[in-house]
Structure 1
């Protein structure tokens, strides 16, 4: 899917570098690309257009119409937003931005336009079939105007329809319904007992224990709490009494909130609930009822739930800050101020939130993202020890906005981000919780670390083995992680380390161990792009493979000397003719260029992005095919001939597949020969 952003100043939906040069030519992708809904319109819309105000409100974000006010190379725009007009420099040729946006998106490889503007807010099952009718960005007339203006052809459209219809046929869409297994997958199948059990397992294993301290006056951490000792429990926060499944979820019949999960787990306890007049969007002070405050003072357990929901992040609407949304920080402070130290904070949020001001106000913190239909049951099971949390963070938990470069800055390295660095690979500050972090109710020891080879060619697979032992008093599992740190390379700013493997242990009883082996295919794991050479490399030298509990808690570090380089053998061959339909007698030279890709690629890729045939080596460098020995063949020479020089000649109506071969690697495409 091509998105709403621009890359190096070119909208993603019309970005030839990413969609054609990289995705198709370099990586060998043969499927189709659809736009994010409304993204084709970002080519011509202005960033300060009428849709900006809509985008600032989550209720109308789906109607946002802002864009990049772009025009392709050699063209200019009148900056008309919805009425944009593109003019070809030095000529009298002009075309509407809507027609141009369709044309350049199709030419670069966005084959399907998922419309967005004038889409209606409501249930998708009702509105999705109607969106193409109400949209103004995917009209047939725009395609016709683009073809008339000479900036698009039916051949380009055929090229994009080929993979789309191929996949639809492979999945059986055009077969009789009785032969389609998907038609038998109804809600009863989706909500089968086996699937609900899987949902529970996923929710249990997703929960991440971020903090587990001893409450004031206690001799051990708060969690897990023994259910038999909980007579009175207080649950606080609006999030605790609802189930947030996130965008693109289904609507399952079973939805268990945290409040319901605790009630089911503690059927004999007195459970007091109070939303505290809290929400993700409230700017008012929270307020706890007097009876709630009294219940908190004598409670055996207090559970506060906060997080994010559709009020602060949803389709087309992102959070603008890492701060706890709404009045949640004040809610936590108000609960803690009553004086009961036995507080568990449950945070269900889309990524990190700033917990700096409240971490000392609570004993324990559990985290998950939107955790499915049984999220409340999973949290209750973790709090009461039925499940030992084993989740680990898949992101860096930054302490606040000050640790983030501007959102419009895509750079990663410290030198390009005012010294900060981005992601665990480059981040230079101390986060609240590092990438890979996750605590447990038990403890684990890592021992007997070893590698299969101390010196190894880059083309091989390294195996790193070690033993994980449960040294605590409760059964539990953990996620062992393996990072690789590169040797220093003069003049190159490399990542501090990178995750090259991980493995979750089985649930280990106290005192039990498990032998773990992580296999690392070195080229895919360690390769980096070297712009000066125009290819990827694996830097030779001594790498350190770190067995770790998280990206910042290393258990063992094993040096391995890596030699050699990425073989310069051919990895992918692609075939992208300008048209797939020919008439008898018509010729097409496959060694030529595709005029519909001409001038679209960045300058350094221009000789690589618009040829009909490309070959790319394993190091992602392009092969100069000018004098390369290519082999050509056709499966139906009576329909289409191809000679040794790659010149195809249509013979008679029918369908034929042409194949090109170099060094044993092939690419094929069908041609249709129509009547004269």
Structure 2
């Protein structure tokens, strides 16, 4: 009897297997034909998937489907300032440093170099069968959330506090990542985190942001809109938090009404990692994983970084979502994969043949050094302390980050065999006759232990003391990464750790020569109590693998500093509104009424910039007119420089919630010593509209000042050494 059952069972299996084989033979494999349009290939492929197969492809770690020749793929990849978490790669300065260059063309070159390196690494990974996380081509970068509060630990990932600057840099970066082929993507960028997301990190999974419509459309959305409309960014990442009471990943307003319907977005939307789970278990918007999955897909989130979408089959059973809706959502993911060439092996793809020689190439290393040079901001230079002579007899390099490789890399970094510390850069630059000394002198974050610390006293014997202080991504960063701040990634205040302040003050009491302070951080640092003791101060950010060489290039005058602050440096937290308040009043240079320590856009060079002959095309401008502005920019000093010419528009009378002033254009130019260059700007009338309380761009009549300078408008900029600004009043009719 048992044998008969076994025979029957074997027969059933044989029949079932034959049916499956027949079914497989009946597959329409034309979706593998690279000559067909991508849209047609996607439809042919997805239409032959089972419901479970479709659902399996909607999580970041998507498994293979052997019967359809679909390989496994992990969508989670990072390239914030170089390929991250995937082995050897060039490490460029952190994003905030790139923002300080005010150079979109440079941002484009960096992103293009990153994507070329990424293609080379992807080819090698495929040959090795490595389909793991961080080994793909869908990069979840850039972060274009506004750096609205300097306490935010992840502000270092952004290009600064200004929506216009953020948009210009972000668009250029995305274009560099994605390439210029009309059909295929070099790699896929992703604008994150959509939207109204900039801390506090401790509350990011729970808070509900309810900005007024004016702030939403004036501040929080413009960079995302620019990346969608101008850069055609392929991906958008939804944020953890809720907006107007609805989780961002489940927000029809954000993902359907604004992103797709208003802006015409035609890419994929991914959740932040774990955000779909948060829809039900943290934000309590729905009660079950199935409900969270259904409401997120229906709102427009195609991909779940996490595993909650595995509950979609249960959601279908419960009538919460249809298979047709799942089909539509997963189809978008395969459009992206086809555009990247991930579905083809031997396709004549313009980015398929990139050699390993592009990985951490000499050209990329040189580019990392150039970016670091251009990102450094000279904040103070009393009595022309800088540049230093390479023949200085007794230079002293000290401070907790003078010999730190960890300080160079910021957050979301790769691995480089060529990390150059400040000490190494200085040691390589100075003359062999120099008696260079080094002591760390202070611990990064903890109380200095040795009561008989001799390190400050070395300054009493030195011709110059170069002290490197600041923070690292251990102190400021993402909720899950920063370990030393005591505030889950964010800063409690803007001061340096007290032991570093004490150390600088100890040096100041005994120093023989000038004290040059180098500040490494991804955010504004208050210098109250130490600024007056320093002869020169440079903000070096997290300068990447060539940071030490770039710092030395600037210190010793091979390159004049040319970075400008992409964010206001307040004096202290007392000047800031409550961190969890998403109103823009009192925030950033556009709305701040108190005088900060250093203003937005500020940065000195080793020369002197003089502005002359401001010309504005009209004194009375009407809607639909074009405003043309020209100005002569002269370098009257003794050094060749790069300068950032900035154009602001300020209402003569500020009423309501409109900004006090707004950056409308900027140009980075190179000027030989003694040279003058005529710089022109063309401003469309749409760019001069203001956002009203309903979130609408409107033409606001009245008198405005057109102001051109090399820092944001105000007496403080000129008092600190910026060029005298020129202005002209015009009337909007």
Which residue among 685, 706, 709 is the counterpart of 1:522? 685
Residues 1:286 and 1:149: Cα distance change in structure 2 (over 3 Å): farther
Pair 1:17 & 2:253 matched: yes
1:573-584 matched pairs, under 5 angstroms: none
Pair 1:26 & 2:240 matched: no
State the partner residue of 1:275: 440
Residues 1:287 and 1:366: Cα distance change in structure 2 (over 3 Å): farther
Q: What is the number of residues matched between the two proteins?
A: 476
- Return the alpha-carbon distance in structure 2 between the equivalents of residues 242 and 400 of structure 1: 27
Residue deviations 1:173-209, cap 9 Å, x none? Answer: 1122564554544653132222222222111111000
1:397-408 matched pairs, under 5 angstroms: 397-408=569-580
Question: Cα distance, 1:540 vs. partner?
Answer: 2.4
Pair 1:111 & 2:275 matched: no
1:42-441 matched pairs, under 5 angstroms: 42-45=278-281, 67-68=282-283, 70-71=284-285, 86=287, 96=288, 98-115=289-306, 137-138=307-308, 140=310, 142-177=311-346, 179-180=348-349, 182=351, 184-185=353-354, 188-213=357-382, 220-228=383-391, 230-243=392-405, 244-268=408-432, 269-279=434-444, 281-284=445-448, 289-290=453-454, 292-316=455-479, 317-325=489-497, 327-413=499-585, 421-441=586-606
State the partner residue of 1:549: 710
TM-score (norm 2): 0.62
Residue deviations 1:45-92, cap 9 Å, x none? Answer: 3xxxxxxxxxxxxxxxxxxxxx43x325xxxxxxxxxxxxx2xxxxxx
Question: Cα distance, 1:489 vs. partner?
Answer: 7.0
- Given that residues 462 and 511 in structure 2 are in contact (C-alpha distance below 8 angstroms), is that contact kept between their aligned partners in structure 1? no
- Given that residues 274 and 288 in structure 1 are in contact (C-alpha distance below 8 angstroms), is that contact kept between their aligned partners in structure 2? no
Higher helix fraction (1 or 2):
2
Question: Cα distance, 1:33 vs. partner?
Answer: 1.5
Question: Cα distance, 1:29 vs. partner?
Answer: 1.4
- Return the alpha-carbon distance in structure 2 between the equivalents of residues 448 and 285 of structure 1: 58
State the partner residue of 1:620: none
- Return the alpha-carbon distance in structure 2 between the equivalents of residues 182 and 341 of structure 1: 54
Question: Cα distance, 1:391 vs. partner?
Answer: 0.7
- Given that residues 379 and 538 in structure 2 are in contact (C-alpha distance below 8 angstroms), is that contact kept between their aligned partners in structure 1? yes
Higher strand fraction (1 or 2):
1
- Return the alpha-carbon distance in structure 1 between the equivalents of residues 274 and 617 of structure 2: 51
- Given that residues 14 and 105 in structure 1 are in contact (C-alpha distance below 8 angstroms), is that contact kept between their aligned partners in structure 2? yes
Residues 1:341 and 1:107: Cα distance change in structure 2 (over 3 Å): farther
- Given that residues 658 and 691 in structure 2 are in contact (C-alpha distance below 8 angstroms), is that contact kept between their aligned partners in structure 1? no
- Return the alpha-carbon distance in structure 1 between the equivalents of residues 469 and 662 of structure 2: 32
Question: Cα distance, 1:149 vs. partner?
Answer: 2.5
Question: Cα distance, 1:114 vs. partner?
Answer: 1.5
RMSD of aligned alpha carbons: 2.2
Which residue among 239, 248, 253 is the counterpart of 1:3? 239
- Return the alpha-carbon distance in structure 1 between the equivalents of residues 457 and 572 of structure 2: 34
- Return the alpha-carbon distance in structure 1 between the equivalents of residues 422 and 584 of structure 2: 38
Residues 1:371 and 1:185: Cα distance change in structure 2 (over 3 Å): farther
Q: Which runs of 4+ in 1 moved over 6 A?
A: none
- Return the alpha-carbon distance in structure 1 between the equivalents of residues 414 and 625 of structure 2: 43
- Return the alpha-carbon distance in structure 1 between the equivalents of residues 498 and 324 of structure 2: 53
Question: Cα distance, 1:227 vs. partner?
Answer: 1.3
Question: Secondary structure of 1:270's partner?
Answer: coil
- Return the alpha-carbon distance in structure 1 between the equivalents of residues 539 and 356 of structure 2: 29
Question: Cα distance, 1:10 vs. partner?
Answer: 2.4
Question: Cα distance, 1:223 vs. partner?
Answer: 0.8
Question: Secondary structure of 2:386's partner?
Answer: coil
Question: Secondary structure of 1:500's partner?
Answer: strand
* Gaps in structure 2 of 5+ consecutive residues: 1-236, 480-488, 718-723
- Return the alpha-carbon distance in structure 1 between the equivalents of residues 398 and 356 of structure 2: 33
Question: Secondary structure of 2:271's partner?
Answer: coil
- Return the alpha-carbon distance in structure 1 between the equivalents of residues 680 and 649 of structure 2: 15
1:436-475 matched pairs, under 5 angstroms: 436-475=601-640
Question: Cα distance, 1:446 vs. partner?
Answer: 0.4
* Gaps in structure 1 of 5+ consecutive residues: 46-66, 73-85, 87-95, 116-136, 214-219, 414-420, 564-676
Residues 1:288 and 1:423: Cα distance change in structure 2 (over 3 Å): farther
